[in-house]
Each structure stands twice: as structure tokens, then as C-alpha cells.
Amino acid sequence: MKLTRTRLMLAMALGLAVGTAQAHDDSGKTGGDISHVNGGITAEAGQQYGDLDTVNGGISVRRGAIARNVETVNGGITLEDEAQVQSAETVNGGITAGERVRVGHGAETVNGGIKFGFNSSVQGDVTTVNGGITIKQTEVSGQLQTVSGDITVGAKSHVRGGIHVEKPHGISFGRSRTPRIVIGPNAVVDGELRFDRTVELFVHQTAKIGPVVGATAQSWTTSLPARND
């Protein structure tokens, strides 16, 4: 899985080195970039911004606000209804998007889940390592990628770049949890569904998917069976 975490981890290291003295508080600023070391950032409803980045804090893009790249290291990202951003990236935190959200170049986390509400769209990949992915009636132009999380492609969603669940790397302690991949009613997943580890794959009888590698698809109609773990 190709992750672009280098610049965020560098930002964290620089933040620890220079301290909070060089952080600038632009919480009320619109139209330009906002950058913090410690503290959250809020993009106010209906306003337009540049890049939003912080090291220790969450970022909230309120209803109808527009921003470029939204990045944090230790904190979650919230994109309210009708928000528009170029990208959303966090290391330790989740990404939660409301309805009719537009993301231009992908959404990415390391330790945290990703959720998109109804009628949203993502141009690019939706990627996480230790977290799940849920999309509801959402269009993703790229791929859904995870290592250890569940993936739910909700009803009427369309994923154009396939799905990839990678094999965990490094030392693992205890029993490994089996990811569950669910493709909902009338959903479409174009491209390859590749699984490099054991997963439970359930595809609704009305869904359409591309070729499956590394798993056996099980059909479902009204309800899913209980988890094996």
C-alpha cells in the first residue's frame, strides 16, 4: 500500500523541535492557509480556505466550506455535508464525511476508519491501514485499500478502481482478526478485488463486481451471517 505519510511525520518532528512558539493561530482566517502545531482547526460553514494542517488536533470542515489539502497527525477529520476538499489525510484519527461531500484527490488514514455519507464522491483512492472503510451511495474513482479493517460498499455505491486488502507486515501478537468485506444492494465495484489475506467476502445478489483474487464470494440477500471471530 502506497502511503504518503512522510511529509506528515516530518511535520510532527519539526513541531516537536520548534515548539509551539512558531505555530500561528489563524482560527478566524478565511481564504488562506491555516497551520498549527498544537490545536484544532475549524473551517467555517460556507467559507473558502487554502491548506489546513495541524500536528496535534482535529480538523472540522463545516457545511459547504471549501478547502485544499486537509492534514493532521494526531486527530480526526470531519467533513460536514456539502464540504469540498482536495484531499483529507491523518495518521492517528478517523475521517468522517457527511452527505454530498466532494474530495478531489483521495482520503487516507493510518490508524483510523473512514466513512462517507450519501451522495458523496472521491476522486482517487480511499486508503487506511488499521481501520475500516464505509461508503454509502458514494462514488470512488480509485481503489478502496486496507490491511486490517472491514470494508462496506453500501447500496448503490460505485467503486471504479477495485478493492485491495493487503497482508499484514511485521510481528503480530494474538489471534488475527478476519476482515469482513460487504458489497451492498445494487453496488458496483469495477476492477479487481484482490485479497492478500483471509477475508469474509459477501456480495449482494444485485451487486456487480469485477474478478476476485484470493477469496470466495458468498451471496447474500437480506441479512449477513454472524462473524466467525
Read off the C-alpha cell for 50. Answer: 487554502
Mean pLDDT value of segment 117-129:
97
Task: Name 196's Cβ contacts closer than 8 Å, sequence gap at least 6.
Answer: 164, 165, 166, 167, 214
CA 53 from chain centre, in angstroms, equals 17
DSSP string across 86-152: EEEEEEES-EEE-TT-EESS-EEEEES-EEE-TT-EESS-EE-SSS-EEESS-EESS-EEESSS-EE
What are the contacts of 57-64 at 24+ separation with CB within 8 A?
58/93, 61/85, 63/98
Q: How high is the pLDDT of residue 225? A: 74
Q: How high is the pLDDT of residue 177? A: 83
Task: Name 208's Cβ contacts closer than 8 Å, sequence gap at least 6.
Answer: 187, 188, 189
Are 195 and 201 in contact by the 8 Å Cβ rule? The answer is yes
pLDDT tens, residue by residue, 187-199:
999 999 999 999 9
User: Torsions phi, psi of 176, nearest 5?
Assistant: -80, 135
Are 75 and 90 in contact by the 8 Å Cβ rule? The answer is yes
Categorize the per-residue pLDDT at 175 as very low, low, confident or very high, splitting at 50, 70 and 90: low
Higher pLDDT, 88 or 4: 88
Categorize the per-residue pLDDT at 227 as very low, low, confident or very high, splitting at 50, 70 and 90: confident
Categorize the per-residue pLDDT at 128 as very low, low, confident or very high, splitting at 50, 70 and 90: very high
Distance CA 132, CA 125 (A): 14
Distance CA 32, CA 18 (A): 23
Strand pairing of 95-97 and 66-74? unpaired
Q: How high is the pLDDT of residue 54? A: 95
Give domain limits for the chain. 24-113, 143-229
CA 159 from chain centre, in angstroms, equals 14
Q: How high is the pLDDT of residue 229? A: 63
Distance CA 1, CA 216 (A): 22
DSSP-derived letter for residue 196 is S
Read off the C-alpha cell for 182. Answer: 460487504
Categorize the per-residue pLDDT at 1 as very low, low, confident or very high, splitting at 50, 70 and 90: low
pLDDT at 218 over 50: yes
Distance CA 59, CA 212 (A): 37
